Amino acid sequence: MNVMVQHLSNTLRYNGMYMSYTNNPNMPKVRMQAVMLVKQGWSIRKTARYVGVYPSTVLRWVEKRILGNNFSIPTLSSAPHSHPNAMPEEMVRKIIEYRQRYHRCAQVLHYLLNRDGIVVSLSSVKRTLRRNNLVNHSKWKKRKDHLRSLPEPLLVETAHHLIEKLIGTDYRDVGL
């Protein structure tokens, strides 16, 4: 077995499960070697067994090879490229423009945008300002320190505990 192919089958397994994405720097060359095996006459299934992937994966590599270059098939990012509910770029530009023009907080910007007919939620304005590093935090604002320890609880002596201590027994048994 080819050393790169063996390295591929070792890197694709993690605790018995297959990983959908790999950072293996040899992966583009291994993909290309698999495509070359298919071009030499090997079947898709035989090549997939040899490399240690599914046949549909080898088929995708062959299709990418036809569209791509002759030396390697690069690993593409698995990060999403867009979101169907993403805020339009025009609205993001408007929020940034209002921030730079008025130098006001998100609540005021939200009011001004809605007043001018640009319907946007307050949370979207805040998110846009935060993503574009347009939020200034006050130096003097108190920060909530969630890591500080709480003081020890006070021991509160109730009347019946005090009576028990004085009498030495439960006061209800004595008939008080």
pLDDT in tens, 45-96: 999 999 999 999 999 888 887 666 667 777 777 778 888 888 999 999 999 9
Mean pLDDT of the chain: 79
Q: How would residue 38 be classed by pLDDT, with cut points 50, 70 and 90?
A: very high
Residue 16 — left, alpha, or beta (φ > 0 → left; ψ -120 to 50 → alpha)? left
Q: Which homologous superfamily is 3-67 in?
A: Homeodomain-like (1.10.10.60)
Question: What percent of the chain clears pLDDT 70, i.e. is strictly above it?
Answer: 66
- Return the minimum-mean-pLDDT range out of 12-21, 55-64, 78-87, 150-159: 12-21
Residue 37 has pLDDT above 50, yes or no: yes
Res 14: pLDDT = 44
Name the DSSP letter for residue 72.
-
Delimit the domains of the chain by residue range: 3-67, 89-131
Average pLDDT over residues 102-124: 95
Which comes out higher in pLDDT, residue 37 or 19?
37
Residue 13 has pLDDT above 50, yes or no: no
Tokens of 28: 């583009």
Res 89: pLDDT = 93
Question: CA of 137: how far to CAs of 130, 141, 142, in Å?
Answer: 11, 8, 11
